[in-house]
Structure 1
Amino acid sequence: MATGDAGARNPGIDLLRGLAIVLVVFNHLGLRIPLGKTALAGVLPAWLLRGLNWNGYEAVYVFFVISGFLIAGNALRRWGSLAAIDARAFYARRFARIVPCLLALLAVLGALHLLGARDYVIHRAGQSLPRALLAALGLHLNWYEGQTGYLPGSWDVLWSLSIEEAFYLGFPLACLLLRRRALLVPPLVLLALSLPWARAALHGNEIWLEKAYLPGMAAIATGVLGALLANACRPPGRTVAMLGWLGALGLGAVLLDGGALWHWLRDGYMLVLTLSALCLLLCCRWRADGGTMRPLRGFGWLRSWGRLSYEIYLTHMFVVFALVRAYRALGGGPALGWLWYLPALGLCWLLGTAVERLLSTPCERRLRAMLPGGTRHGCGVAPSAGANRRAPSEAWETGRD
């Protein structure tokens, strides 16, 4: 997240969402080439291999928290308070950030379906291409899958976008309606804390349990509350360090041994996940504000994944499907399956970089210049030399402004 200089990035937040997007990619590879069946099973502990392969869902919830934290934080930086939010400018910026890549993805997926490409054809009973397009554009693809079953993988990733953007449709209106922080914070707290109970009520439908609106919005609300807290105070360094350690321990416990937490807490383990992610975000923000945030050496590649998280999230299934097809065509035995994870990392990054440079950023700049309120000048801030550039912090949002 930008702090001070609008062009600055927070390396800690980039690192966190870089980890999250890598876990999403490894999860989708693991469903097809499980690390537990490769030669790594004789070298690395089983809990580590499980953590690498089966935390994609939890990683998306980390993204939800990051999204709420960044978007609410950016709104506070632009307008001073959420009560002063410019809804027109807010929607313009969301549109410019999300829609170009989404429309391009849907166009490609529609073409692949019509061409009969394997892995991309919508074939379940009750599903169709027009209805899937309507669900994706109408922000209810998660509900559509809950009613009809899973869509092909490249479509399925859009479930989180439906939750996130549905939240942000109502977010500015709620801020303007309630206006006072004393009225806005209590419902956000209730929503954030509802996560375990919302999930517990959904166990009758596996898909809807994963993709329902309320649990995802609870995670986003957690991030919004964090942005309000970060803007309201700056605790001493020891408190910030303790938050960082608590966040790291909690996140590690969920990602490395979520089964044990589930045994003790049931759906409450997801609340441990969202609150741990929030602790890390607060630590990163306050350390950056205090001038003590330094990038960890050797993790630049992971931070670059964080910067490209939206583009990689939307496009990584093209790489996954291609590599899995090649793996099976070459008759690769399961023992060497782990080797396919290495090219997956490089190819996903290259594809995400190409989409960001050739499509995402250029279209966003043009749309922000064209749409009412889409630029900083339209938000009531004097334009600068970089006014038409996307602030680097405004990136996920499966987020991600």
Structure 2
Amino acid sequence: MVAGQSRNFTIDVLRGISISVVLILHFHLSYSLIESPLGVVLPADAISAVARNGNYGVTMFFVISGFLITSTTIRRYGSLATVDVPGFYAFRFARIVPCLLLALVLIAGLGALGQPAFVNAAKPGWPEVSMPVAVLSVLTFWHNILMQYAWYFNYAMNVYWSLSVEEMFYLVFPIICIAIRRTGIIVIIWVAAIAYGPVYRYYHSDNEIYFMYAYQACFDAIAFGCCAALVARKISLKGMVGGVVRIAAAILVGATYLAGIRGHEVFGFTLVAAGTAILLVGADGERVPALLQRNRALAGLRWLGQRSYELYLFHIIVLGLMRSIWPRGTLAYGDKAPAFAAFVGLSALAAWAVSRFYAEPLNAGLRAAFLRTRELSARQAG
């Protein structure tokens, strides 16, 4: 969001939902929720539908990123064609890199101490990867490509594949805008990405490293968000018709999520992205009823959504440490519910602490330093 602008209620809730399903997925993959007290009240298929499709949450994140970057760029600079490239990169660096560096230092350090969830361990038949190369791949936007080469080689770090997708998007976004300058042609590029995503996933539907993690498999979701930001400037999904459209979009996202990824590798991500994009169009400039703002469940999701980046980075470190105490699959049946609560609580605490005492001060400080340097350079040049 633009500095000084209040946060958007729906976007924070959508972020909260997205990070929640990611947390559920990763806990479930370590300690099956099917063999837990949940199995007493819910059938296994229902638990699996909720717990195993968290990668759709990442798709929602991609759409939100495209929407926010596009809308913020237009608000801040007036148009896509006039984006300030150095300023864009400086602000993205200030938000993303400090937290990421801290997470990578923790992972590398725990790996050096021999903690199983943090070491690079080659799968049979796959090449080994050194820790410096793995860290470099995250910082230089090709960790997802490295996973295509080495499969799942580091439990904690491999989760950061999606950062490579987003960082590559952040790298090319201002370049495309400033080089092309014509919004219509830029939109054509985004639409081409939307059209190509399902084609790529179709030809790689037998390999999840490709159909879920490759740039070509994910850029369509970001492009949906970019297009939604432009549509929101022209169309207002308000009133009864707008409400019906938004409800239909929410049903589309929910139904696609519950239908699962398996068997829907090609168009499942497209449907989730399209539904999320419609919800974002409706969220632009909305006035949220006070009753919804006071809802405790939504307040909890908003809180998670406001710290979703820190949660994304550090929840896997919390879970990796838990796996050092209780290796995958060894958690007792009756302990899974309290363990899940502890996992979410500790992850939220870590995210809050990192955000409050590290990420927010560094983000503000780095941005202020960039602006001071630019102002000083302008004075000297004048």
TM-score, with normalisation over the residues of structure 2?
A: 0.90
- Residues 204-252 of structure 1 show CA distances to partners (whole Å, capped at 9, x for unaligned) of 5332222101121111111000001112333542232122112210111
* SS of equivalent residue, structure 1 residue 153: coil
Matches within 5 A, 1:45-56: 45-56=43-54
What residue in structure 2 maps to residue 348 of structure 1?
347
1:169 aligns with 2:171: yes
| Alignment length (residue pairs) | 371
Root-mean-square deviation (Å): 2.5
From 112, 125, 130, give the equivalent of 2:132: 130
CA deviation after TM superposition for structure 1 residue 335, in Å: 4.6
What residue in structure 2 maps to residue 279 of structure 1?
278
TM-score, with normalisation over the residues of structure 1?
A: 0.86
- Residues 5-55 of structure 1 show CA distances to partners (whole Å, capped at 9, x for unaligned) of 933111111111101101111111101111111121121233431233112
What residue in structure 2 maps to residue 61 of structure 1?
59
What residue in structure 1 maps to residue 214 of structure 2?
212
Give the AA of the match of 1:347: L
From 204, 229, 232, give the equivalent of 1:230: 232
Q: Is the 8 A contact 1:37 1:335 kept in 2?
A: no
Which of 1 and 2 has higher RCO (CA within 8 Å, sep 6+)? 1
Matches within 5 A, 1:2-401: 6-124=4-122, 125-258=127-260, 267-288=266-287, 294-295=292-293, 297-298=295-296, 299-327=298-326, 332-371=331-370
Q: Is the 8 A contact 2:194 2:221 kept in 1?
A: yes
Higher alpha-carbon deviation: 219-228 or 313-322 = 313-322
Distance verdict in 2 for CA 1:373–1:158, change over 3 Å = farther
Give the AA of the match of 2:73: A
Cα distance between partner residues in 1 of 2:373 and 2:10: 28
**Percent of matched pairs sharing the same residue:** 33
Q: Is the 8 A contact 1:69 1:226 kept in 2?
A: yes
Distance verdict in 2 for CA 1:28–1:330, change over 3 Å = closer
Q: Is the 8 A contact 1:55 1:255 kept in 2?
A: yes
Give the AA of the match of 1:334: Y
Distance verdict in 2 for CA 1:266–1:320, change over 3 Å = closer
Give the AA of the match of 2:347: C
Q: Is the 8 A contact 2:31 2:329 kept in 1?
A: no
CA deviation after TM superposition for structure 1 residue 366, in Å: 1.2
Gaps of 5+ in 2: none
Distance verdict in 2 for CA 1:167–1:323, change over 3 Å = same
Give the AA of the match of 1:196: P
Q: Is the 8 A contact 1:193 1:271 kept in 2?
A: no
Cα distance between partner residues in 2 of 1:47 and 1:332: 21
